[in-house]
Amino acid sequence: MSMDKHIALVGCGKAGLSLALALRSAGWAVDGCMSRSPESSELGAQWLACRALSSVAQIPAGVILVLGVPEAAFGDVDRRIAAEDTHLEGRVILHLSGALPARALEICRLRGASVGSFHPIMTLPDPITGARRLKGATFALEGRPAAVEAMRAMAQSLSGKFFTLSPRGKTLYHAAAVVASNHVLALLADSQDMLVKAGVDPAAAHEAFYALVQGTVESFYAGGAVATITGPVERGDAKTIRNHLQALKRSPKILERYRVAALGMLELARKRHPERDEANDTLAKLLAEWQSK
C-alpha cells in the first residue's frame, strides 16, 4: 500500500489514541484498533470511528502498526505480532516509547519488519487534549529506513518538527527530555517551598514566579542559556550566594539542590565571563565548602 497513510492501533492507551486521533484529523485512515481486552478495543474503536480487531492477522499488508502499549508489554506484543501477522515482511511497526530503541521489537525486526520509535515530545493527558497538542509538536525518530520515512510523513502531516536519532543516542535523548520536563518541576517546587518558608501564603507562592519563569524560558529559546543567565552567580556575587546557603541550612535537601544548580550556573557564567576567573573560582570554592555541611 506504499505510503497510503493507513494505520492500525495496537494498544488503546492515552498516547496511542492521541496520535491516532491526530493523524485521523490530518487525513490518515485508521483501519482498526485492538487492545488487551475486548472492552478496551471497543472503546478505542468508538474513539477512532474504526473497527475493533481481535488479531493482527486482520490487518492488510502495507498498513502501519502503531503500538500504544506500555513498555512492559513490548515483549508480549512483539511475540504476538510475530506469531499472528501474515504480512510481517516489510511491515512498518512503530512504538511510542521515548526510553527504548526501535530494536526493542526484536522478534518482529528479525523477521523482516521495519521497526521504528516515534516519540512525541509532549505530555498527553487524555486523547482529546493529546491530539490537539500533537499538532505542531516535535518528534524524535529512530529506526529502520522505511520506518523513518513513515514517521517523517506522520510528523509532516501534523505540521510538526522532527529529528532523527541513532539507537545509541536514544537513552541520552530520553534523559535529556526527563531533565527538561520532570527535573525542572523539582526546582520549581523548591522555589515555592522557599517562598512559603519565607512567610508567603501558599496560594500566592504558587503563582508568584509564573511570569518570571515564563520570561526565562522565552529568553532561553530566543538566545540560549549563556545569553540568558542573570543573578548572583552571573555577577560573581559570593556574598549573596553565601547568604542563600546560610538561609537554607535548615532545609538540607533544598540546600543541596540549590548548590548543585548553582554549580551548573557557574559553568554558564564561566562561558559568559571567561575574564572573571578569580571571582568564578571563589564561587566554586564556596559551593564546594558547603557540600559537607
- pTM (predicted TM-score): 0.88
In the predicted structure, residue 172 carries a pLDDT above the cut 50: yes
pLDDT > 80? residue 132:
yes
pLDDT interval class at 146 (50, 70, 90): very high
Is the confidence at residue 3, as pLDDT, over 60?
no
Question: Which triple of cell numbers denotes residue 200?
Answer: 508567603
Q: Tens digit of pLDDT for each residue in 198-219?
A: 999 999 999 999 999 999 999 9
Give tens-digit pLDDT for 72-89: 999 999 999 999 999 999
What would the grid cell of residue 89 be?
515482511
To the nearest whole number, what is the mean pLDDT of the chain?
96
pLDDT > 60? residue 52: yes
pLDDT score at 293: 64
126 by DSSP, 3-state: which? coil
Over residues 61-71, the pLDDT tens digits come to 999 999 999 99
| Collapsed DSSP state (helix, strand, coil) of residue 17 | helix
Predicted pLDDT at 1:
37
Residue listed under C-alpha cell 564561587 = 283
* Residue 291: per-residue pLDDT: 85
Q: How far is CA 10 from CA 45, 219, 235, 256, in A?
A: 11, 41, 54, 44
177 contact partners, CB below 8 Å, separation of at least 6: 98, 121
171: which 3 cell numbers?
Answer: 537513552
What's the number of CA atoms in the CB half-sphere (13 Å) around residue 157? 22
Q: For the residues 18-42, what does the mean pLDDT come to?
A: 96
